[in-house]
Amino acid sequence: MHDQNYVYINGKFVEREKASVSVFDHGLLYGDGVFEGIREYSGIIFQLKEHMVRLYNSAKYIRLPIPLSMEEMEQAIISVLRKNNLKDAYIRVVVTRGAGDLGVDPKLCNRPNIFIITESMESVLSLSEPKVISVMISSYRRDSTDATSHEVKSLNYLNSVLAKIEANEMEVNDAIMLDRRGFVSEATVSNVFIVKDGSVHTPSGASGILRGITRGRVIRLCEELGLEIKERDITPYELFTADEVFLTGTKSEIVSVGKINSVVIGKSSPGPVTRSIYRAFRKAVSRREEGVPAFEESYAYRSK
């Protein structure tokens, strides 16, 4: 039984066990929709503005009109957190094309569906240093930017699901995917960083990555810490021979990679650069200016 009982669906609060959408929703039938995963830390919705910009840009790219303004969407998110009295949470915002028929044509869908799910989530940042994981290089290539581009945070994640299945079969925590050219792209749901000779490197948008919100904040943290940071193409060779490798994501936050295909990276433990970024990120998420407060009256939800 969950303490948080309500899901937001199209402006209404629905009990979790009763929350549903039509089986004819094109988000279900064709993966036709967009979403965001967002974190709330101690009542502060981390990087909410940045998440909203990405959500609406994703929707714009697939020509999906969102029936709420960006401000109204923010207020809806706040309303669910308040309804469920959650101050440390994971938030899933989903916009689907809506119900249509069994054809692929989006013109057959009359109105998009919006639902927001919130769940209590303890931060892994409560640990004194990053968690260490093992990964593999997936045989599945990341979809190219002129196909189902992962620049769009869409509901179509089968490319990542297949890579995750492969990681499960190899009994490792995750898989790193290469792009069609053979350069490092990203992990199944996380961005990749390497550290070499004290400088930090991460794949650029050319490799088909989702420009992660956590990734963006880590890039800025590197600049604030005086670390050299470069966005560029990275080869598998550079990945295996890096001094440090770490992954970033909204849900996973920052995790250190100890092994890739059973090859030990660095000393198989978080390196000094990863640790310094991790410490800086821990401090950042607790600052009010890093997001939007969910429990202040100035941000109260104003229903129509």
Going from N- to C-terminal start, the domains of the chain cover 6-122, 132-285
Q: DSSP character for 243? A: S
| Residue 128: per-residue pLDDT | 86
Cα dihedral angle (279, 285, 290, 291), rounded to 10 degrees? Answer: 170
SS3 288: helix
The H or E element spanning position 56 is helix 48-61
Q: Which residues contact 34 (CB under 8 A, 6 or more apart)?
A: 55, 58, 59, 62, 64, 94, 95, 152, 153, 154, 155
User: Which of 60, 83, 87, 153 is the catalytic position?
Assistant: 153
The torsion region of residue 266 among left (phi > 0), alpha (psi -120 to 50) and beta comes to left
**What is the predicted pLDDT for the residue at 4?**
56
- One digit per residue, the tens of pLDDT, for the chain of length 304 reads 445 589 999 999 999 999 999 999 999 999 999 999 999 999 999 999 999 999 999 999 999 999 999 999 999 999 999 999 999 999 999 999 999 999 999 999 999 999 999 999 988 777 889 999 999 999 999 999 998 999 999 999 999 999 999 999 999 999 999 999 999 999 999 999 999 999 999 999 999 999 999 999 999 999 999 999 999 999 999 999 999 999 999 999 999 999 999 999 999 999 999 999 999 999 999 899 999 999 986 555 443 3
Question: Would you state the pLDDT for residue 186?
Answer: 98
Q: Is 230 a catalytic residue?
A: no
- The CATH classification of domain 6-122, taken from the options 1.20.120.1750, 3.40.50.720, 3.30.470.10, 3.40.50.300: 3.30.470.10
Reading phi first (left if > 0) and then psi (alpha if -120 to 50, else beta), residue 184 is in beta
pLDDT of residue 298: 58
Rounded distance, CA 152 to CA 150, Å?
5
Q: Quick check: do 6-122 and 132-285 share a fold?
A: no
C-alpha closest to that of 290 among 37, 123, 70, 43: 43
DSSP per position, 189-230: SSEEEEEETTEEEE--GGG-----HHHHHHHHHHHHTT--EE
Please name which of 225, 27, 223 lies closest in space to residue 112, comparing C-alpha atoms: 27
Tokens 């988000």 belong to 27
The class level of CATH for 132-285 reads alpha beta
Could you give phi then psi for residue 208, rounded to 5 degrees? 80, 25
pLDDT attached to residue 301? 44
